């Protein structure tokens, strides 16, 4: 949401919330469209920190929320984080980005760079609506596996295809039933 994490100037928070709420309303008018605003990940802080911002952003009208977008937290950790947040926003279901979470977050080296094309990561569970948890609406690959986080660890610019990284993610993937 870029409101809670300090990326949006405080004087613009109200405008950002109104824009998010308007987007939720507009998208909900589209046929066969589900709306799950981004609710961060288990490394961003406590779910309680997002209860009010999600409310301001229109969570009541959304289908649920998304966690772990373009991140590496394991499915197990993401389910726990999402479950705690769901309890604070009326029991809303959530989706989890599993595109690169097969080996969890990278914890070696410079903490400021653990997010950028970290080595040793793996594809997570493939996209499905069969999650085994009634609160988890789906596992999704929100971040395209193989898309570079930026020019770090030999990667091309952010958003560009990174062959070597895509191959590493696939080679490190575990088999899923």
Q: Which CATH class is domain 10-172?
A: alpha beta
Which single residue is written with the structure tokens 């009634």?
134
**3-state DSSP assignment of residue 38:** strand
User: What is the reported pLDDT for 105?
Assistant: 96
- Averaged pLDDT, 39-68: 95
pLDDT value for 175: 74
Does residue 89 register a pLDDT over 70? yes
How is residue 88 written in tokens? 């604070």
CA quadruple 67, 120, 146, 148: dihedral sign: positive
What 3-state DSSP class applies to 67? strand
Using CA atoms, how far apart are residues 32 and 177, in angstroms rounded to an integer? Answer: 28
Its pTM stands at 0.92
Q: Break the chain into its structural domains and give their ranges.
A: 10-172
């Amino acid at each position: 949401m870029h409101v809670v994490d300090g990326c949006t100037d405080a004087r613009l928070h109200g405008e950002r919330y109104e824009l998010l709420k308007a987007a939720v309303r507009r998208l909900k008018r589209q046929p066969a469209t589900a709306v799950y605003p981004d609710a961060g990940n288990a490394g961003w802080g406590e779910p309680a920190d997002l209860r009010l911002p999600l409310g301001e952003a229109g969570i009541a009208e959304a289908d649920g929320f998304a966690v772990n977008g373009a991140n590496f937290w394991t499915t197990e950790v993401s389910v726990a984080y999402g479950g705690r947040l769901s309890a604070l926003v009326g029991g809303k279901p959530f989706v989890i980005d599993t595109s690169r979470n097969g080996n969890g977050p990278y914890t070696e080296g410079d903490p400021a760079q653990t997010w950028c094309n970290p080595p040793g990561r793996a594809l997570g569970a493939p996209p499905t609506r069969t999650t085994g948890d009634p609160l988890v609406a789906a596992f999704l690959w929100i971040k395209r596996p193989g898309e570079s986080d930026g020019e770090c660890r030999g990667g091309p610019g952010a958003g560009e295809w990174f062959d070597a990284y895509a191959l590493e993610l696939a080679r490190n993937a575990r088999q899923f039933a």
